[in-house]
């Protein structure tokens, strides 16, 4: 694909050093090449599209002005870094994006020297870049450091902690705000671009620095001059907050005007201290379907680049859809229900709820810690908060979960999506640890459904519990079990015997029931749908241990401290020593790929479970089972 003649200018660019040899007048044409290349590539592989289309010019300008990778460029989240990957030696591998053995969908240090910091979760760029800037100062290096953060990621509290620290220590750092949530009318845009060039220029910078030195000797005059500058800038641009934090604020400027971007960045590169550049971009820029609906085209499956129509694979109802439907049904029954999400309305299945119950829906932004304590406050006043959150993002609010919810035994319910492996999004988004980090908490009831209908009934069960409760379920669809409209609470802490067998008992947690049943059928094993991780059905576990020679636990969670560990602890406490086999995710971070292939690689498909059991049983029994 990259050999096609329409990408002739892009063909000349393999690394940023090639880019810096281009005449500045050719940069807009290069931007168009990158944009078309990106559309064609992602149309084949799927991936994140709208955000990257919006950062093409900004990416070109940053690599054109700064001497990367010597100068550090730190991206936030990573959805917008596809143009960065194209310009940093990975153009020919873009067709492998998010596939097994291919490029990651996020910046990754192991992948390229230009990926200075691995990301996936938001609001980390300024903190990381500040650390790099301080390291450069310690080494007395001339290395420059730039953090690029989006307006959504800037809603995270960690970003403000870093801004406050950077401004206070007068760090040599440039923060670029990629603001794609507002528009610039032609006159405001022209005025802002003009002001940015003036305010980032050497004359203004020297004047500003000199006036500080002179006027500080006359304190009342210095204070008056400082307030006058802030007043003038505050009338014309939204930078007062960042000025108060100690940054020299410049902008907003048009993020698709390469000439202005290059000129402004050159001016800022020559400055020192904390600088803040506000750049306004448009998600999906240059591709009409993505511009019209950047939310739909944020993450895409393969699509027709001519029409934007995406491929739709036949699939059953997803767990996310089951949750969204249950939430609306429950809200109809109980006016106390409040739905909360940390900026994941679409991903967590809250669109219908937000439309039907707008006064009871709260998107708190990328602020997971706040989301949990906010929910705790609601629960204190008799309301019933339901926090819809990805497993990987709940990790960010662990202290609030312990201190503000579990310690006070507050009835906050968690609908934990993306539990287990997540395929193309890889290690940064995998929910590999929630059973381990949740199981340790007092007062928390923790459960995992084996199918779609059980998910609905478990959500209802969790909602009725007068204390913290969590339901964790995987990404995508389940085994295809029909979802009943009626709601029936499950007996808390009670497992379900799904198949009676001999010699071997397989204890399956959540998504692992289907492959466990398949493996159990071939081995004539007992198979149990455990349902609850906490409280564990200890009576059933002990009875199975007495009646079977081998107990096997299977979970889509890391083995360390997970559901299998809970079973082991139960048996040890009772003084029973049956032969045990714990199956789960290995003690390493798993790269991106096809979810089913990844589970098979971990030995968590039916055949993998069967093979592991045969390896674990005595030779005589293995021979009998192998012939069965």
How far apart (Å, rounded) are the C-alpha atoms in residues 13 and 490?
60
Can the peptide bond before residue 51 be classed as cis, meaning omega within 30 degrees of 0? Answer: no
Q: Which of 98, 233, 396, 531 is catalytic?
A: 396
Please list, residue by residue across 583-595, b when 16 or more beta carbons sit within 10 angstroms of its beta carbon and e when fewer do.
bbbeeeebebbeb
Helices and strands of the chain, counted as H and E runs: 27, 19
Residue 499 designated active-site: no
Which ranges in 550-594 belong to alpha helices (H)?
Answer: 563-573
Backbone CA torsion sign across 87, 89, 93, 97: negative
Whether residue 468 contacts residue 477, with contact meaning beta carbons closer than 8 Å, is answered with: no
What SS3 state is found at 109?
A: coil
Residue 266 designated active-site: no
Residue 283 designated active-site: yes
How far apart (Å, rounded) are the C-alpha atoms in residues 628 and 609?
16
Q: Which of 57, 243, 325, 368 is catalytic?
A: 368
Please list, residue by residue across 239-274, b when 16 or more beta carbons sit within 10 angstroms of its beta carbon and e when fewer do.
beebbebbbbbbbbbbbbbbbbbbbbbebbbebebb
How far apart (Å, rounded) are the C-alpha atoms in residues 553 and 495?
13
Whether residue 420 contacts residue 111, with contact meaning beta carbons closer than 8 Å, is answered with: no
Q: Of 455, 443, 445, nearest to 484 (Cα)?
A: 455
- Chain centre to alpha carbon of residue 50: 16
C-alpha distances (whole Å) from 95 to each of 435, 436, 493, 546 are 35, 36, 47, 54
Element (H, E) at 159: helix 157-168
Give the residue carrying structure tokens 């304190």. Answer: 219
Tokens of 239: 């930078």
Q: Which of 283, 384, 439, 531 is catalytic?
A: 283
Close Cβ partners of 324 (under 8 Å, ≥ 6 residues apart): 348, 349, 350, 351, 352, 353
Neighbouring-strand partners of residue 389: 416
Q: Of 338, 329, 343, nearest to 381 (Cα)?
A: 338
Can the peptide bond before residue 252 be classed as cis, meaning omega within 30 degrees of 0? Answer: yes
How far apart (Å, rounded) are the C-alpha atoms in residues 252 and 282?
13
Residues noted as catalytic: 283, 368, 396
């Amino acid at each position: 694909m990259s050999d096609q003649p329409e990408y002739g200018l892009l063909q000349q660019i393999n690394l940023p050093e090639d880019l810096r040899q281009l005449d500045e007048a050719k940069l807009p044409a290069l931007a168009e090449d990158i944009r078309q290349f990106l559309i064609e590539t992602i149309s084949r592989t799927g991936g994140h599209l709208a955000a990257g289309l919006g950062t093409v010019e900004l990416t070109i300008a940053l690599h054109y002005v700064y001497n990367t990778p010597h100068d550090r460029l730190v991206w936030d989240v990573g959805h917008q870094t596809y143009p960065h990957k194209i310009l940093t030696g990975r153009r020919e591998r873009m067709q492998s994006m998010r596939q097994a053995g291919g490029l990651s969908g996020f910046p990754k240090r192991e992948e390229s020297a230009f990926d200075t910091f691995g990301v996936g979760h938001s609001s980390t760029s300024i903190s990381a870049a500040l650390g790099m800037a301080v390291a450069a100062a310690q080494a007395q290096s001339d290395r420059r450091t730039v953090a690029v953060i989006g307006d959504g990621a800037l809603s995270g509290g960690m970003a403000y902690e870093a801004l406050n620290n950077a401004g206070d220590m007068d760090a040599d750092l440039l923060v670029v705000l990629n603001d794609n949530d507002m528009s610039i009318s032609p006159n405001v845009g022209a005025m802002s671009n003009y002001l940015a060039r003036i305010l980032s220029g050497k004359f203004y910078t020297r004047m500003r620095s000199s006036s500080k030195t002179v006027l500080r000797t006359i304190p009342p005059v210095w204070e008056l001059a400082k307030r006058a500058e802030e007043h003038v800038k505050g009338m014309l641009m939204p930078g007062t907050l960042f000025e108060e934090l100690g940054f020299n604020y410049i902008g907003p400027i048009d993020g698709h005007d390469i000439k202005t971007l290059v000129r402004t960045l050159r001016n800022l590169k020559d400055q020192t201290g904390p600088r803040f550049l506000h750049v306004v971009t448009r998600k999906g820029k240059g591709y009409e379907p993505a511009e019209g609906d950047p939310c739909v085209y944020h993450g895409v499956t393969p699509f027709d680049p001519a029409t934007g129509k995406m491929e739709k694979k036949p699939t059953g109802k997803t767990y996310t859809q089951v949750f969204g439907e249950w939430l609306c049904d429950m809200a109809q029954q109980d006016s106390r229900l409040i739905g909360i999400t940390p900026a994941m309305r679409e991903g967590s299945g809250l669109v219908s709820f937000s439309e039907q119950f707008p006064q009871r829906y709260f998107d708190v932004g990328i602020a997971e810690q706040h989301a949990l304590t906010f929910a705790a406050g609601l629960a204190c006043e008799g309301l019933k908060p339901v926090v819809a959150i990805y497993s990987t993002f709940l990790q960010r609010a662990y202290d609030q979960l312990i201190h503000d919810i579990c310690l006070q035994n507050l009835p906050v319910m968690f609908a934990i999506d993306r539990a287990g492996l997540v395929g193309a999004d890889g290690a940064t988004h995998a929910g590999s640890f929630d059973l381990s980090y949740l199981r340790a908490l007092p007062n928390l009831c923790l459960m995992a459904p084996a199918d779609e209908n059980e998910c609905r009934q478990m959500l209802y069960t969790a909602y009725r519990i007068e204390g913290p409760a969590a339901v964790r379920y995987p990404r995508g669809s389940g085994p295809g079990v029909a979802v009943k409209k009626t709601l029936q609470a499950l007996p808390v802490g009670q497992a379900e015997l799904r198949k009676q067998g001999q010699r071997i008992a397989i204890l399956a947690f959540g998504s692992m029931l289907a492959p466990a049943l398949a493996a159990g059928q071939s081995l004539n094993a007992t198979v149990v749908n455990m349902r609850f991780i906490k409280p564990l059905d200890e009576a059933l576990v002990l009875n199975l241990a007495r009646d079977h020679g081998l107990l096997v636990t299977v979970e889509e969670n890391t083995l360390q401290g997970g559901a299998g560990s809970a079973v082991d602890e139960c048996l040890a406490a009772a003084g029973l020593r049956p032969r045990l086999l714990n199956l789960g995710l290995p003690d390493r971070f798993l790269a991106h790929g096809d979810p089913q292939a990844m589970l098979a690689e971990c030995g968590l498909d039916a055949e993998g479970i069967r093979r592991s059991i045969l390896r674990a049983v005595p030779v005589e029994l293995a021979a009998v089972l192998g012939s069965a």
